Structure 1
Amino acid sequence: MALPPSLPRRHFEPVTATPRWGPERWERREWTEMWYGVFLWALVSSLFFHVPAGLLALFTLRHHKYGRFMSVSILLMGIVGPITAGILTSAAIAGVYRAAGKEMIPFEALTLGTGQTFCVVVVSFLRILATL
């Protein structure tokens, strides 16, 4: 296709965009995107386990004088745990990915976030059995 002589050539040059992901563009924003993805999955999966456990504890211990407060502690553990420890471990995971020069697909963030929650749940069950 020939260009009309009245229009300059620069208007028809392709625009090159900076890639969103990949080793060409490693900035703080991408580290925060990796960190945020892992952190959100850890928080959501923790709430997925702790909210039903807290509701079950509230339902079964609703008539107990002090036992009903255990449900509040279970719910707080489901929120405070991922906010404190989940922030640090998610930041460490994202830092390792960035230092290795790898990009993180969303499925990896899901796997790593739910893996953190799985480890917390396993340690919690093992601690309770050790006290019996």
Structure 2
Amino acid sequence: MQDRYNEVGFVQQILGLNLVPRRNGTHGGNDTSLSDFSEMWYGVFLWAAVSSLMFHLPAALISLVTLRQHKMARFMPIAILLMGIVGPVLGGVLTSAAIAGVYKAAGKTMISLEALVFGVGQSFCVLIISFLRILATL
């Protein structure tokens, strides 16, 4: 069973949500639960970073195509990509640590699907707040 697990391809690992490396290097067949704080934090942070880039990359490509003739605005895709990277690095690290800390303090394990939901949920909340302009009303 261990040899079969090592032969699983990269795409199958992504689709199987087995992205978080184990601290002791062991894999329990189909067990994808994350029990250590660093595993939970890394799982949530990884999905937050990937989903943030998935939201910001199309926006940067659209702005690159539409603003390529403008004198100053042609550099806007760089700013959009930086927001897609800096946001998860600064804010995603803290919120992912808070989520993992709550799970660890409660003594619960996190399955990889929960890490995906929390990570994508963080990026989705940032997207909704950006579009609704809630901050402008404060």
Both structures adopt the same fold (TM-score exceeding 0.5): yes
Residue equivalent to 2:99 = 93
CA–CA distance in 1 between the matches of 2:129 and 2:47?
Answer: 19
Residue equivalent to 2:6 = none
Residue equivalent to 1:106 = 112
CA–CA distance in 1 between the matches of 2:51 and 2:114?
Answer: 14
How much has 1:82 moved relative to structure 2?
A: 0.3
Deviations along 1:45-93, one digit per CA (max 9) or x if unpaired, are 0001101100110110000011111111111000110011000000000
Residue equivalent to 1:8 = none
CA–CA distance in 2 between the matches of 1:33 and 1:92?
Answer: 13
Residue equivalent to 2:86 = 80
Task: Structure 2: give runs of 5+ residues left out of the alignment.
Answer: 1-27
SS in 1 for 2:110: coil
Task: Structure 1: give runs of 5+ residues left out of the alignment.
Answer: 1-19
CA–CA distance in 1 between the matches of 2:70 and 2:133?
Answer: 24
**Number of residue pairs the alignment of both structures matches:** 107
Q: Point out the structure with max Rg over C-alpha.
A: 1
Q: Which runs of 4+ in 1 moved over 3 A?
A: none
Task: Give the letter for the 1:35 counterpart.
Answer: W
Residue equivalent to 1:11 = none
CA–CA distance in 2 between the matches of 1:94 and 1:38?
Answer: 8
Q: State TM-score, norm by structure 2.
A: 0.71
2:55 aligned with 1:56: no
CA–CA distance in 2 between the matches of 1:71 and 1:55?
Answer: 7
Aligned Cα RMSD in Å?
2.4
Q: State TM-score, norm by structure 1.
A: 0.74
Residue equivalent to 2:133 = 127
